Amino acid sequence: MRLAVIGTGYVGLVSGVCFSELGNQVICVDNVQEKVNLLNNGEVPIHEPGLRELIAKNTQAGRLSFTTDLYEAVNNSEIIIIAVGTPSLPNGKANLSYIELAAEEIGHAVHDYKVIVVKSTVPVGTNERVAELISKHASASFDFASVPEFLREGTAVRDTMNPDRIIIGTLSDKAADMLTELHRPLTDQITITDVRSSEMIKYASNAFLATKISFINEIANICEKVGADVEEVAKGMGMDKRIGSSFLKAGIGYGGSCFPKDTQALIQIAGQMDYDFKLLKSVVEVNRDQRFNVIRKLEDLLGDINGKTIGIWGLAFKPETDDVRDAPAFEIIEALIERGAHVKAYDPIASDNFNKSFHGKEILYCDSAEEAALNADALCILTEWKEFIDIPLSDIQLWLKTPNLIDGRNIYSEEDLENTPFAYYSVGRPKMNNGVREGKPILTF
Nearer to ligand NAD, 193 or 205 (CB): 205
Min CB(127)–ligand NAD separation in Å: 13
Residue closest to ligand NAD when measured from CB atoms? 9
Q: Which is nearer to ligand NAD, 102 or 411 (CB)?
A: 102
Smallest distance from ligand NAD to CB 353, Å: 11
Smaller CB separation from ligand NAD, 350 or 417: 350
Q: Which is nearer to ligand NAD, 151 or 400 (CB)?
A: 151
* DSSP helix, strand, coil percent of the chain (3-state; round to 5): 45, 15, 40
Q: From 187, 128, 124, select the one nearest 160 (Cα to Cα).
A: 187
**Least gap, CB of 100 to ligand NAD (angstroms):** 9
- Closest C-alpha among 86, 97, 114, 17 to residue 57: 17
DSSP 435: T
Q: Looking at beta carbons only, is 94 or 417 nearer to ligand NAD?
A: 94
Q: Which of 335, 303, 297, 289 is nearest to 429 (CA)?
A: 297
Of the residues 18, 28, 223, 258, only one is catalytic, namely 258
* Residue 11 or 423 with smaller CB distance to ligand NAD: 11
- Among 381, 385, 380, smallest CA distance to 350 is for 385
Which DSSP string corresponds to 52-73? HHHHHHHHHTTSEEEES-HHHH
Q: At its nearest, how many Å lie between ligand NAD and the CB of residue 65? A: 14
Q: How far is the CB of 398 from ligand NAD (least distance, A)?
A: 38
The residues of the shown chain that bind ligand NAD, judged by CB under 6 A, are 6-12, 29-32, 35, 70, 83-86, 98, 101-102, 105, 120-121, 149, 151, 153, 257-258
Q: Are 330 and 404 in contact (CB under 8 A)?
A: no
Q: Where are the beta strands (DSSP E) in 359-442?
A: 363-365, 378-381, 404-407, 423-425, 432-433, 436-437
- The identity of residue 135, as a single letter, is S
Could you give the CA distance from residue 74 to residue 82 in angstroms, rounded to a whole number?
11
CB nearer to ligand NAD: pick between 25 and 155: 155
Least distance to ligand NAD from the beta carbon of 164, Å? 13
| Three-state SS at 151 | coil
| Helix or strand run (H / E) with residue 169 | strand 166-169
Least separation in angstroms between residue 84's CB and ligand NAD is 4
Amino acid at 312: I
Determine the length of the chain: 445
Catalytic annotation present for 258: yes
Give 35 or 342: the residue with its C-beta nearer to ligand NAD: 35
Distance CA 7, CA 441 (A): 53
The C-alpha atoms of residue 363 and residue 43 are separated, in whole angstroms, by 29
- DSSP class of residue 265? H
Question: Least distance from C-beta 316 to ligand NAD, angstroms?
Answer: 12
106-139 burial string, b = 16+ CB within 10 Å, else e? bbbbbeeebbbbbbbbbbbebbebbbebbeeebe
Q: Which residues are catalytic?
A: 258
